[in-house]
């Protein structure tokens, strides 16, 4: 099975061996960092050159999937396409030129499917879960005791989006950082009432590349140690990282352990959102989960094949 994820940062085709009742096993991958959330024009549209690049990448992915023997490609898009003024036109053009139909997920769908992946990874013994996921275009929060969360929230606080909207200097100025932090905290505080009113979680979990890279900078095991190495991120670490990243240029951030050059520019915004979410939800520590939205999409598809 191929899973095509048209994300706000990365466009990613993951090929997996998957069947009901088993963990999906990655077989091959093809990805590129297009950072769609950072390339929205003044009218709110994705520019023409990126659309052509996106179609070309998908066509390459189709060939790879065919060569690898994939019998199905599931395709979905998230915040950048969802929020673009020409998002529907982009989806239609991709379908016309490649034959692939892309499902544009709502923010709640993102949160719910990611929550499903986290639940399956940690299992029932983890009890009630709180989920945080910072993407390029949005922040997802969810809480619940089952596979379906009781509350799922999506907020326009992605690391790429905020970097585009608030940061121009390199390194950013004190006033840029202040405005970014003020905005992030205000949006989260205005929206988290339903989560705060839910019963306290037994385990708080983070997914997404942003949290993985923040944890790596803070000393978590490298990706080379495999998905089963336990990775945690403390609120005290995040506060220190905000201070550290605030004083570094993008080039200097890219030299930190685990930080890719393509995401270095977004790391400060991601850290500020993480700090705000953990503070306002009174989370002292997060367990970083290797599974996220793509795995949730695969698992939901496998569940559907049994009905």
pLDDT at 8: 82
Q: Is the pLDDT of residue 38 over 80?
A: no
> Same CATH fold, 123-293 and 2-104?
yes
Domain boundary assignment for the chain: 2-104, 123-293
pLDDT at 113: 96
Q: Is the pLDDT of residue 246 over 70?
A: yes
Do 21 and 91 touch, CB atoms closer than 8 A? no
Do 30 and 60 touch, CB atoms closer than 8 A? yes
Percent share of the chain, pLDDT over 90:
71
Domain 2-104: give its CATH code.
3.30.420.40
pLDDT at 32: 86
pLDDT at 306: 54
Mean pLDDT throughout 59-81? Answer: 88
The span from the CA of 55 to the CA of 61, in Å, is 10
Q: Is the pLDDT of residue 121 over 80?
A: yes
Mean pLDDT throughout 50-76? Answer: 89
Q: Is the pLDDT of residue 34 over 80?
A: yes
Please provide residue 171's backbone torsions phi and psi, each rounded to the nearest 5 degrees: -70, 165
Best CA proximity match to 136, nearest among 192, 94, 82: 82
Mean pLDDT throughout 55-65? Answer: 90
Domain 123-293: give its CATH code.
3.30.420.150
Best CA proximity match to 271, nearest among 177, 202, 192: 177
């Amino acid at each position: 099975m191929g899973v095509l994820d048209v994300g706000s940062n990365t466009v990613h085709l993951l090929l997996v061996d998957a069947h009901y009742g088993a963990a999906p096993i990655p077989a091959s991958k093809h990805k590129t960092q297009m950072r769609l959330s950072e390339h929205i024009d003044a009218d709110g549209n994705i520019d023409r050159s990126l659309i052509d690049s996106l179609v070309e990448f998908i066509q390459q992915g189709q060939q790879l999937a065919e060569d690898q023997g994939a019998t199905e490609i599931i395709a979905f898009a998230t915040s950048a396409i969802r929020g673009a003024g020409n998002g529907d036109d982009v989806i239609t053009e991709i379908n016309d030129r490649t034959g692939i139909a892309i499902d544009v997920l709502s923010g709640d769908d993102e949160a719910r499917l990611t929550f499903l992946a986290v639940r399956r990874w940690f299992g029932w013994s983890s009890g009630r879960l709180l989920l945080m996921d910072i993407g390029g275009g949005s922040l997802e929060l969810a809480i619940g005791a089952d596979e379906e969360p009781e509350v799922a929230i999506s907020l326009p606080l992605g690391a790429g989006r905020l970097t585009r909207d608030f940061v121009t200097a390199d390194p950013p100025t004190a006033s840029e950082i202040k405005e970014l932090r003020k905005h992030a905290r205000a949006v989260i505080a205005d929206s988290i009432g339903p989560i705060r009113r839910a019963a306290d979680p037994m385990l708080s979990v983070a997914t997404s590349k942003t949290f993985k890279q923040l944890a790596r900078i803070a000393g978590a095991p490298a990706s080379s140690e495999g998905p089963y190495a336990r990775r945690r991120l403390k609120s005290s670490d995040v506060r220190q990282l905000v201070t550290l990243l605030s004083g570094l240029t993008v080039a200097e951030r890219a030299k930190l352990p685990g930080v890719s050059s393509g995401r270095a520019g977004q790391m400060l915004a991601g850290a500020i959102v993480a700090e705000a979410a953990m503070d306002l939800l009174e989370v002292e520590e997060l367990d970083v989960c290797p599974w996220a939205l793509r795995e949730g999409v695969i698992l939901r598809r496998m569940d559907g094949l049994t009905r």
